[in-house]
Chain A
Amino acid sequence: MSEDTVLDVRHLKTSFFSKKTELPVVDDVSFSVKKGETLAIVGESGSGKSMTSLSIMRLVPSPNGKIVGGEVFFNGKDLVQQNDKTMYKVRGNDISMIFQEPMTSLNPVYTIGEQIREQLIYHQKISKREAHQIGIEMLQTVGFSRANDIMKDYPHRLSGGMRQRVMIAMALSNNPKLLIADEPTTALDVTVQAQILDLMRKLSKEYDSAIILITHDLGVVAELAERVVVMYGGQVVEEASIEDIFDDPLHPYTEGLLNSIPKIEGTQERLDSIPGTVPTPDNLPVGCNFVTRCPYAMEICKQEEPTLIDKDSSRKVRCYLHEEGVKNHGQQHRSS
């Protein structure tokens, strides 16, 4: 793990247990995040991206969900092995999280001020007055001009965009090294989305926090991220820089995702969506997880699971099309 790596996830495996069966929702996921970098994890719902983030935080819903393997190195420590006490210090302090639902992610019975302060007091052991002062500054940073009044307001009096700003202020208030944003703009209006993305871009520079951006929306990815991890069926299927993902996607699933973004220029471009849905963990096909929806599926894809291979130093892909020696045997390979 090099100096400037903040988070290093290795072979992470998280499963849900129902009765006697084990359903893998995160299956052998590896990636790393560098200092100040924004990494996007992209996938449809059910791809395991949210569970990956909850696994990093060790907040997988218990007792059914459990991390069953792998490591999550943060600050040189494997979070998977840490006891609860250490995790209490990491969460909200070293690693913060913003959730998709700003409408319900704030506690309705406490004021904004109370909810911002409590976290500062808890982690930094400062007085209520100091926490209040920092709270006001944070609210100003995220764009509230009358921060003083907002501190006294209850969440239901704020709009979704405002609440998400509050969540961001709260998440950044302890200067975390890593911010995990799980679909931070999905529930918001398009104009508000743009504002929130702007804010996040600005603040990530200012606070030098690394960000893991979890989203299904490649438009959001293009706005913020430097590197992209594409997940499908609980696995990483491709990892590449933002340029490579958009210019030359390797995995058929990434290609499908890109084709499903409406494009304004280029009228001949068709709006494709990938047929079918993500298979549920109890229903994964034999072989490649994507085989049921892949237009290039070959015989071998139905038999054996492809492995994630290093394409070059910065790219990884999990697909037989890109494995030497296999590609040439593919029978149905249509060029894209």
Chain B
Amino acid sequence: MTAYIIRRILMTIPILIGISIISFGIMQFAPGEPTALDLDPNISPEDREAQLEEMGLNDPIPVQYLRWAGNILQGDLGSSFITNRDVATMITERLPNTLVLMITSTVMTMVVAIPIGIVSAIRQYSKRDYVFTFASFFGVSIPNFWLGLMLIIFLSVQLGWFPVGGVGTLGGEFNLFDRLHHLLLPALVLATADMAQMTRYTRTSMLEVKNQDYVRTARAKGFKEGKVVYKHALRNALMPLITMFGLLLPTFIGGSVVVEQIFTWPGIGQLFLDSTFQRDYPVIMALTMFGAVLVVLGNLIADILYAVVDPRIEY
């Protein structure tokens, strides 16, 4: 097992290098440059040229890449072109907000999707199953930015039940209820599509397991239906879902960009969007790599968990 984990971690190195090269390249192809946005309109073209030169942006792309990679390997993420602040500090400031959002969404997804999926599978083709099926197609199809805006318009602006955005009331003391109050809507919006999708996965997985021979054996042993389902079917049905959670992680990252923007949630996603608009290359690259590591790590954890719950898998 340990050998497997080490091997897997080593395998992520070429993957991350590949990702960094590709994203670095793509970023350079995008039109515009960091100097275009925030500089004094009266600046002369010569000065601008000098500035680009100073930032190293006139060097050939491979040279720029190697310089960036060299710094990264020394643990230096560089500093923002725009604010001149240390990128690592910028990320760590905002990371907790995003993590809170993501973890809440993940928990919401599990708590909602798994029970509903199970009920749908056990009562396949019942009224409840149809209702849940319809609701999940709805959930998958609704664009999260639209859902977010609608919730803000109705629940926050018109009914005033929820704050319009932010992580907490400005200037107030830390207050758990206030935080949760602010957290609920963005977390819900971020979770909606995944909830819907996980419901479907759980249902499918449970349907498959429901008719397995060992479930019939459990019935033949005289166990009550509840024990048959929760002890003998559920654990087998949940195994494939672990992988699904690993694969859903990237959608959270993508979703957080949109959701944080809508709910003015000062997290990584917002930072990512801002830095992209401003062509703030060091920040963009750092966040891209951060996302890549998260995805790779998510998959690794899913694989390890899989081996923990399924005795048939040995690494």
- Residues of A bordering B, CB below 8 Å: 57, 59, 61, 84, 87-93, 96-97, 99, 101, 104-109, 111, 118-119, 122-123, 154, 156, 167, 170
5 closest residue pairs by CB, A with B:
A92-B222, A91-B222, A92-B221, A104-B213, A107-B214
- Residues of B bordering A, CB below 8 Å: 211-214, 216-225, 231-232, 235-236, 239, 309-312
Nearest CB in chain B to that of A94: its residue: B222
Q: How far is the CA of A84 from the CA of B217 in the complex (A)?
A: 17
* Residue from A89, A91, A93 having most chain B Cβ neighbours under 10 A: A91
Question: Quick check: B220 and A97 within 8 Å, CB to CB?
Answer: yes
Q: How far is the CA of A109 from the CA of B232 in the complex (A)?
A: 9
Smallest beta-carbon distance B115→chain A, Å: 20
User: What are 14 A-B pairs at a CB distance below 8 A?
Assistant: A59-B220, A90-B222, A92-B221, A93-B222, A97-B220, A99-B217, A99-B220, A101-B213, A104-B213, A105-B213, A105-B217, A107-B214, A109-B311, A167-B217
Residues of chain B within 8 A (CB-CB) of A156 are 311-312
Residues of chain A within 8 A (CB-CB) of B213 are 99, 101, 104-105
Question: Quick check: B214 and A106 within 8 Å, CB to CB?
Answer: yes
Smallest beta-carbon distance A180→chain B, Å: 9
Nearest CB in chain B to that of A100: its residue: B213
Question: Quick check: B216 and A99 within 8 Å, CB to CB?
Answer: yes
Nearest CB in chain B to that of A111: its residue: B311
Q: How far is the CA of A40 from the CA of B266 in the complex (A)?
A: 73
Smallest beta-carbon distance B236→chain A, Å: 6
Smallest beta-carbon distance A173→chain B, Å: 10
Residues of chain A within 8 A (CB-CB) of B311 are 108-109, 111, 154, 156
Smallest beta-carbon distance A243→chain B, Å: 32
Residues of chain B within 8 A (CB-CB) of A122 are 221-223
Residues of chain A within 8 A (CB-CB) of B223 are 88, 92, 118, 122
Q: How far is the CA of A111 from the CA of B219 in the complex (A)?
A: 18
Beyond contacts A88-B223, A105-B213, A118-B231: 10 other A-B pairs, Cβ-Cβ < 8 A, are A88-B224, A96-B221, A99-B213, A106-B217, A108-B310, A108-B311, A109-B311, A118-B221, A154-B312, A156-B312
Count CB-based A-B contacts (< 8 Å).
72
Q: Which of B217, B220, B222, B225 contacts A107 (CB 8 A)?
A: B217
Residues of chain A within 8 A (CB-CB) of B236 are 107-109
* Residue from B212, B221, B223, B224 having most chain A Cβ neighbours under 10 A: B221
Question: Quick check: A107 and B221 within 8 Å, CB to CB?
Answer: no
Residues of chain B within 8 A (CB-CB) of A105 are 213-214, 216-217
Question: Quick check: A108 and B214 within 8 Å, CB to CB?
Answer: yes
Question: Quick check: B310 and A109 within 8 Å, CB to CB?
Answer: yes
Q: How far is the CA of A99 from the CA of B219 in the complex (A)?
A: 12
Question: Quick check: A96 and B220 within 8 Å, CB to CB?
Answer: yes
Residues of chain B within 8 A (CB-CB) of A59 are 216, 219-220
Residues of chain A within 8 A (CB-CB) of B224 are 84, 88
Residues of chain A within 8 A (CB-CB) of B310 are 108-109
Q: Which of B219, B222, B231 contacts A123 (CB 8 A)?
A: B222
Nearest CB in chain A to that of B313: its residue: A156
Residues of chain B within 8 A (CB-CB) of A104 are 212-214
Q: How far is the CA of A167 from the CA of B212 in the complex (A)?
A: 16
Smallest beta-carbon distance B51→chain A, Å: 62
Q: How far is the CA of A200 from the CA of B216 in the complex (A)?
A: 22
Contact A107 B218, CB 8 Å, known A101-B213, A156-B312: yes
Contact A109 B235, CB 8 Å, known A154-B311, A156-B312: yes
Residues of chain B within 8 A (CB-CB) of A106 are 214, 217
Q: How far is the CA of A61 from the CA of B124 in the complex (A)?
A: 13
Nearest CB in chain A to that of B219: its residue: A59
Contact A88 B222, CB 8 Å, known A106-B214, A107-B214, A107-B217: yes
Smallest beta-carbon distance B38→chain A, Å: 58
Smallest beta-carbon distance A143→chain B, Å: 20
Contact A119 B235, CB 8 Å, known A101-B213, A105-B214, A154-B311: no
Nearest CB in chain A to that of B235: its residue: A109
Question: Quick check: A108 and B217 within 8 Å, CB to CB?
Answer: no
Question: Quick check: A89 and B214 within 8 Å, CB to CB?
Answer: no
Q: How far is the CA of A109 from the CA of B307 in the complex (A)?
A: 11
Nearest CB in chain B to that of A97: its residue: B220
Question: Quick check: A57 and B220 within 8 Å, CB to CB?
Answer: yes
Nearest CB in chain B to that of A119: its residue: B221
Contact A91 B220, CB 8 Å, known A104-B214, A105-B214, A109-B235: yes
Question: Quick check: B217 and A91 within 8 Å, CB to CB?
Answer: no
Residues of chain B within 8 A (CB-CB) of A57 are 220
* Residue from B211, B220, B223, B239 having most chain A Cβ neighbours under 10 A: B220
Residues of chain A within 8 A (CB-CB) of B235 are 109
Q: How far is the CA of A88 from the CA of B311 in the complex (A)?
A: 29
Q: How far is the CA of A11 from the CA of B217 in the complex (A)?
A: 27
Residues of chain B within 8 A (CB-CB) of A107 are 214, 217-218, 232, 236
Q: How far is the CA of A123 from the CA of B239 in the complex (A)?
A: 29
